[in-house]
């Protein structure tokens, strides 16, 4: 009635008017699952403040870019994304947050068009900075000393994907010589167990079928849970409690350090009806000398034992591996040692990273630098090995009945999803299958390397 009396508008017109009056915000996330969880949480905060969320490729009043700084490529990508946003709306406010923003705030502030840079502590208070922010010639920087990032903000993704990423841990106390993450995210700290369980229940109530546990070093879960350095709970206790929540259908463990992946955890996952047989275990190098130079907390013997243990109790388990090529003093012989070690392992795929020099790390001071062209060659060799490993793993799954969680994308009449053991699966698109778990028979490999699926009920 108010709209009708004052402006002679219908109630419907009034609602449309209010929507147009709302400021719009768009988000772009670079990097890891943890960043996606945090972006989603920040988006919900801004929605509660009255903002309307729009896709990043549309015109918005505010663009928020959540950055990563694991590689140089992520740094350069930030500049490209800023320019894309300004092409959509030259008058938009550009806000950059995340790891790169914490590590190099001055560098980001010099990018044309950036208005606000928020570090590790400030990013969760973005609403306090942007409500009255005006576009000016110079960007405003709000970043803390990383020692101040000693608190935990619970986060989870919702709505953007079929799976929800649930943040259970942040920061890292390890001192790997190539890594800037402790400088960008601070010390290891954990979400309180009751908070994790509460957020997991919220995710399940929203209709999400799968949760992916994420963090910087999730095997270290429990440290810093209540602001102290001791472990209040262990990672095993965390997954045991999550396993009891009735409304969660599938839980996936993201990357976990091999020295923190204990036999008890592997055995528990093998018996769980919720936790799926999929592990992602960083290796970084298959050469013990390089592992020592990297200050990793294991050697190849331990790593090989972890793979053997998993396969002994879960023969169909999918195992992903992170590996770095071109680390200083990685000679041809040492690289081949890594290549042959990985080739000998019963693993399923690789994530291959080309070493890049990072400021304020020990490795940047090391000699025996590997030429860039050699790093790229080794990267290509391991990516080819990864495809062979994936193809071989997929072939072992043909003819088996698995459960697929189907995604929403319709790509040329096809839909895709992952089995519990992370086999990428395809079938003709069916709107009724979106976000549904379906038992299928894994039938054949298509030309793109996807496994074709048939309904298991037809073949039983």
Fold annotation for 150-276: Transcription Regulator spoIIAA (3.30.750)
Residue 361, pLDDT score = 94
For residue 446, what pLDDT is reported?
A: 79
Which pLDDT value is given to residue 447?
A: 67
What angle separates helix 300-313 from helix 263-271, to the nearest 10 degrees?
20
pLDDT band at 6 (very low <50, low <70, confident <90, very high): very low
The domain defined by 278-396 folds into Transcription Regulator spoIIAA (3.30.750)
Identify the pLDDT of residue 173: 93
Among 129-138, 400-409, 411-420, which stretch is predicted with the lowest mean pLDDT? 129-138
**What is the rounded distance in angstroms from the CA atom of residue 434 to the CA atom of residue 407?**
5
pLDDT at 328: 98
Residue 191 has a pLDDT of 94
Whether the pLDDT of residue 389 is over 90: the answer is: yes
Q: What is the pLDDT of residues 310-346, one digit of tens each?
A: 999 999 999 999 999 999 999 999 999 999 999 999 9
pLDDT of residue 456: 56
Any idea which residue has 């391991």 for tokens? 382
More confidently predicted of 240 and 228? 240
Average pLDDT value over all residues in the chain: 89
CA distance 134 to 131: 9
* Low-confidence winner among 11-25, 179-193, 210-224 (lowest mean pLDDT): 11-25
Q: Give the lowest-confidence range in 2-6, 20-24, 304-308, 351-355.
A: 2-6
| Residues 269/297, Cβ–Cβ less than 8 Å | no
Residues 138-155, mean pLDDT to the nearest whole number = 80
Closest CA to 154 of 206, 197, 184, 118: 197
Check residue 316 and give its pLDDT: 98
First to last CA, the chain: 61
Q: Where are the domains of the chain?
A: 2-144, 150-276, 278-396, 401-459
Domain 401-459, CATH class in plain words: mainly beta
Indicate the length of the chain as a whole number: 460
Q: Do domains 150-276 and 278-396 have the same CATH topology?
A: yes
Answer yes or no: are the C-beta atoms of 91 and 111 closer than 8 Å.
no
The percent of residues in the chain predicted with pLDDT above 90, rounded, is 66
The Cα 354–Cα 378 span in angstroms is 8
Question: pLDDT at position 103, please?
Answer: 87
Q: Which fold has domain 2-144?
A: Rossmann fold (3.40.50)
Q: Give, in order, the Cα–Cα distances in Å from 3 to each of 10, 20, 52.
A: 7, 14, 21
Phi-psi region of 422 (alpha: psi -120 to 50; beta: other; left: phi over 0): left
pLDDT of residue 18: 46
Q: Is the pLDDT of residue 203 over 60?
A: yes
- How would residue 75 be classed by pLDDT, with cut points 50, 70 and 90? low
Write down the pLDDT at residue 151.
Answer: 80
């Amino acid at each position: 009635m108010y709209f009708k009396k004052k402006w002679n508008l219908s109630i419907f017109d009034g609602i449309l008017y209010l929507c147009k009056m709302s400021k719009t915000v768009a988000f772009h996330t670079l990097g890891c699952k943890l960043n996606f969880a945090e972006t989603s949480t920040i988006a919900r905060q801004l929605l509660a403040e009255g903002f309307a969320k729009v896709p990043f490729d549309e015109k918005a009043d505010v663009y928020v870019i959540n950055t990563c700084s694991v590689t140089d490529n992520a740094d350069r990508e930030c500049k490209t994304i800023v320019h894309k946003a300004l092409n959509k709306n030259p008058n938009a406010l550009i806000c950059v947050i995340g790891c790169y923003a914490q590590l190099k705030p001055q560098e980001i502030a010099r990018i044309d068009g950036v208005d606000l840079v928020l570090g590790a502590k400030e990013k969760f208070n973005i609403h306090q900075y942007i409500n009255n922010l005006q576009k000016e010639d110079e960007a405003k920087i709000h970043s803390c000393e990383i020692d101040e990032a000693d608190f935990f903000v619970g986060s989870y993704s919702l709505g953007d994907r079929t799976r929800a990423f649930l943040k259970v841990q942040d920061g890292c106390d390890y001192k790997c010589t190539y890594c800037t993450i402790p400088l960008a995210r601070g010390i290891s700290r954990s979400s309180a167990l009751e908070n994790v369980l509460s957020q997991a229940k919220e995710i399940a109530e929203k209709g999400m079928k799968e949760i992916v546990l994420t963090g910087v070093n999730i095997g270290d879960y429990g440290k810093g849970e209540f602001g102290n350095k001791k472990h209040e709970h262990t990672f095993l206790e965390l997954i045991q409690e999550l396993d009891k929540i009735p409304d969660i259908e599938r839980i996936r463990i993201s990357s976990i350090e091999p020295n923190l992946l204990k036999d008890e955890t592997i055995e528990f996952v093998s018996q769980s009806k919720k936790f799926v047989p999929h592990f992602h275990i960083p290796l970084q190098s298959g050469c013990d000398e390089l592992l020592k130079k990297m200050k990793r907390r294991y050697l190849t013997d331990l790593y090989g034992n972890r793979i053997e243990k998993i396969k002994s109790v879960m023969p169909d388990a999918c195992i992903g591996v992170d590996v770095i090529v071109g680390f200083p003093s990685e000679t041809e012989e040492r690289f081949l040692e890594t290549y042959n070690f990985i080739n000998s392992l019963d693993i399923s795929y690789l994530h291959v990273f080309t070493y890049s020099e990072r400021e304020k790390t020990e490795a940047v001071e090391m000699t025996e630098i590997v030429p860039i062209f050699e790093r790229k060659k080794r990267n290509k060799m391991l990516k080819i090995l990864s495809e062979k490993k994936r193809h071989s793993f997929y072939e072992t799954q043909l003819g088996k009945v698995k459960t697929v969680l189907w995604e929403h994308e319709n790509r040329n009449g096809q839909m895709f999803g992952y089995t519990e053991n992370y086999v990428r699966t395809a079938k003709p698109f069916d709107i009724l299958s979106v976000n549904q778990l379906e038992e299928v028979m894994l039938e054949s490999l298509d030309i793109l390397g996807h496994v074709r699926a048939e309904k298991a009920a037809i073949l039983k």
